[in-house]
Structure 1
Amino acid sequence: MEIRLDLLPAEKRRKLDLEGGLPFGRIFTDHMFLMLYDEAKGWHSHQIKPYEPICLDPAAAVFHYSQTIFEGLKAYYGVDGRIRLFRPERNMARMNYSARRMCMPSIDEGFVLKALKTLVDIEKDWVPREKGSALYIRPLMMGTEAFLGVKPSSEYIFFIILSPVGAYYKEGFNPIKIYVTDKYVRAAPGGVGDVKTGGNYAASLMASEEAARLGYTQVLWLDAVERRYVEEVGTMNIFFYFEEELVTPALTGTILPGITRESVIQMARSWGLKVSERRITIDEVIEGAKTGRLKECFGTGTAAVISPVGCLAYKGKEYIINEGKTGPLAKKLFEELTGIQYGEKPDPYGWIQFVP
C-alpha cells in the first residue's frame, strides 16, 4: 500500500507559534493522514493531505449510532534532536481491539504506524522543543455510511491529526483534587468501558461538569453494580500506594487498559515494588487516607503521564493524601517515564520508536 502525498507548498505552510502558549488540543498542524474503507475495496485512498474539514452525509452512521473509536499518543522532541514515540505499537493494537468490539474493520497496524511516522516527519517542525510539551497524535475511525437503522456501517473514514500541546492540567505536575461520584456511572460489565469510543466520554460529561463546579479537576468513577469498587478517573487510570503495595484496579472489562498504566506496572515491578491489580473499594481508600496507610495516589495517562492526587472528595467530605503534596514514588515514576520519552534516560524496556 502506498501513501499519496498532497502537501502544501512551503510558502503556504504555517509555523509553530508559541506566543499564546500551547492550550491542549486547540492548535492543529498543516497536514493530516486519511484513508477510506468500503466492503468491496477494503481500506483504500491512503493519503497525506492538507488539514481540512471532512464532508459527511447528515445520515452518516457516526452521527446517529456513535460508531467511532480513537487513540491518543505523543511525539517527543528528544535532547539529542531526535523525535521519539512512546510504545506506539500498543496504541495500534488497542485500536484494533476497539474496532472489533465496535464491529468496525481492523487496520493494518504496521502500515498505519508507518503512515503516522511519515506524517509526524512531514510536520516535525511542529514538535515543541520544551520538555513537558509534545506533539499530540489523534488517530480516529468513524462509520460514514448514510442510513437510518441500527447496524454496523459498511463505510468508514480513518484519519490522523496532530496538535502541539503543553501540559494537560493547569496545575502542571502538582497534586490535583478529585471528586468521587456515586451518583453517575461510566461503564457496566459487558459494556464498552474497556474500549476507547466516543460514547464513553460523552457519558462522563455530566459528572465532570458537576465536579468542576465544585472546584475539582477530575471525577473518580466507581463500579456500576455496587458503587463500591474504584474503577478509573475520567481521563486516567488510578493508582494507590499503601505502604509497600502499589495497587491499581484490575482490568475487568469496564476499565480502559491504559498504556501508561501498563508501563508504570512494569517499571515499578522492575524496581522490586509489590504491584497488585485487584478490586479495591472506596472504603479501603478512604480508610487508608484517614489512617495514613495510603501514602500516595496518582493517575496515569498519555496526556498528563503521572498526575499526583492530593485530595479525594467523597460523600461531602475531603480526604487529604500525603498532606496534599506530590509523593516520592509519583515523582520518581514521572521523572523516569518522561526521561525515557525525551531521551534524557536510557530505555531498558525497548519502549521508544524513532521518527523517521
Structure 2
Amino acid sequence: MAGVYFYDNQWFEECPKLIGPTDHSFWLGSSVFDGARTFQGLAPDLGLHVARLFKSARSMGLAPKETETEVERLCVEGIRKLPKTTELYIRPMFFARGGFVVPEPESTEFCLSVYDAPLPEFDGIKIRFSAWRRPAQDMALTNAKAGALYPNSSRALREALELGFDNAVVKDANGNIAELATANLWMVKDNVASTPALTGTFLAGVTRYRVACLLRENGIAVEETTLTESDLCNADEI
C-alpha cells in the first residue's frame, strides 16, 4: 500500500511509530479523525472533512495546535506526493497523549495519513438488520467522528459477514433506521430518495450531503425523514 504520512512537522514514507501504552488515546480512546477521498487527483469536499475533524476534536475535549487552513494545506501536499491516477484515502487525526480519565487538551497531537485505498468494485450487496443499536447523543460521543465509537459498528459488520452478508443496517435507540455499519443509508420509493433524519445518533455525513445535492440538482426529490424496517423492506432501491 503506497502512502505518505505526516507527523511532528515531517513527512514519512512508512508509518511512523506514534504512541505508547500509557498514552491516553491508546488507553482510553481519545482520538478523532476524518476521511476524504481523491478521484483522478480531485478531493471533493476536502474542506468540509477538515472542518468536521475540528468539530470532532472540540467535542472530544482536544485542543488542536494546527488550524483548519494548515491541515487542509497538508492534505493537499500529501495528495500531490502520490500519482494523480491513484485513488487515495486522506485521514487526518488528532489524539491526546496525557490525561487520566479526561484527556489533557494541551497534549493534543496531529498526524495525517494519505494512502492508496481504492473503493471495491460495486456489484450489489446483501444486508441484514442488526440487533446492535447506535447510541443516542446522551449515551456516547456521537457528535464526533471518534475512533472509540467504531467497535459498535465493527461488531455489527462482523456479525453480518459471519452470516454471509456484506453489511448491516443499524437502528437507533428508538428502533428507527440510523445507517449502515460503514456508511450512511439511502432508499428510493416512488421516485423519492429518502435518508434517515439527523437525530444525533449518527454523524451528518459529508458524502450524504453531497449525494443529496447531486440528487436535487438532477431533479430527484429528496427527503430526510424517520425510516423504519418496514420502509426498507418495501423500498424500490436501497
Q: TM-score, normalised by structure 2?
A: 0.91
State the alpha-carbon separation in 2 of the partners of residues 92 and 211 from structure 1. 31
Decide which structure has the larger Cα Rg and report it: 1
More strand by share: 1
Give the match for residue 198 of structure 1: 147
Runs of 4+ in structure 1 deviating by more than 4 angstroms, as ranges, are none
For 1:204, what is the secondary structure of its paired residue?
A: helix
Does residue 295 (structure 1) correspond to residue 236 (structure 2)? The answer is yes
Q: Is the 8 A contact 2:32 2:93 kept in 1?
A: yes
Post-superposition offset of 1:163: 1.6
Q: Is the 8 A contact 2:132 2:152 kept in 1?
A: no
For 2:203, what is the secondary structure of its paired residue?
A: coil
State the alpha-carbon separation in 2 of the partners of residues 281 and 142 from structure 1. 36
Give the match for residue 159 of structure 1: 111
Evaluate the alpha carbon distance shift between residue 282 and residue 114 of structure 1 in structure 2; reply closer, same or farther with a 3 A threshold.
same
Q: Is the 8 A contact 1:186 1:200 kept in 2?
A: no
Q: 1:169-222: per-residue Cα shift (whole Å, max 9, x none)?
A: xxx2211011111x2112223232242111111122222221111111111101
Give the match for residue 171 of structure 2: 222
For 1:48, what is the secondary structure of its paired residue?
A: strand
State the alpha-carbon separation in 1 of the partners of residues 136 and 2 from structure 2. 35
Evaluate the alpha carbon distance shift between residue 275 and residue 52 of structure 1 in structure 2; reply closer, same or farther with a 3 A threshold.
closer
What percentage of residue pairs aligned between the two structures are identical? 26
State the alpha-carbon separation in 1 of the partners of residues 77 and 129 from structure 2. 42
Q: Is the 8 A contact 1:204 1:234 kept in 2?
A: yes
For 1:176, what is the secondary structure of its paired residue?
A: coil
Structure 1 residues not aligned, in runs of 5+: 1-26, 36-45, 78-82, 289-293, 298-356
State the alpha-carbon separation in 2 of the partners of residues 247 and 52 from structure 1. 40
Give the match for residue 5 of structure 2: 32
State the alpha-carbon separation in 2 of the partners of residues 174 and 220 from structure 1. 18
State the alpha-carbon separation in 1 of the partners of residues 23 and 47 from structure 2. 30
State the alpha-carbon separation in 1 of the partners of residues 194 and 141 from structure 2. 23
Q: Is the 8 A contact 2:34 2:53 kept in 1?
A: yes
Does residue 187 (structure 1) correspond to residue 157 (structure 2)? The answer is no
For 2:133, what is the secondary structure of its paired residue?
A: coil
Give the match for residue 119 of structure 1: 78
Counterpart AA for 1:254: T
Give the match for residue 142 of structure 1: 95
Evaluate the alpha carbon distance shift between residue 75 and residue 285 of structure 1 in structure 2; reply closer, same or farther with a 3 A threshold.
closer
Does residue 99 (structure 1) correspond to residue 40 (structure 2)? The answer is no
For 2:38, what is the secondary structure of its paired residue?
A: strand
Count of aligned residue pairs for this structure pair: 235
State the alpha-carbon separation in 2 of the partners of residues 202 and 211 from structure 1. 14
Counterpart AA for 1:162: V
Q: Is the 8 A contact 1:74 1:86 kept in 2?
A: yes
For 1:195, what is the secondary structure of its paired residue?
A: coil
State the alpha-carbon separation in 2 of the partners of residues 193 and 178 from structure 1. 23
Does residue 74 (structure 1) correspond to residue 37 (structure 2)? The answer is yes
Q: Is the 8 A contact 1:192 1:254 kept in 2?
A: no
State the alpha-carbon separation in 1 of the partners of residues 107 and 134 from structure 2. 29
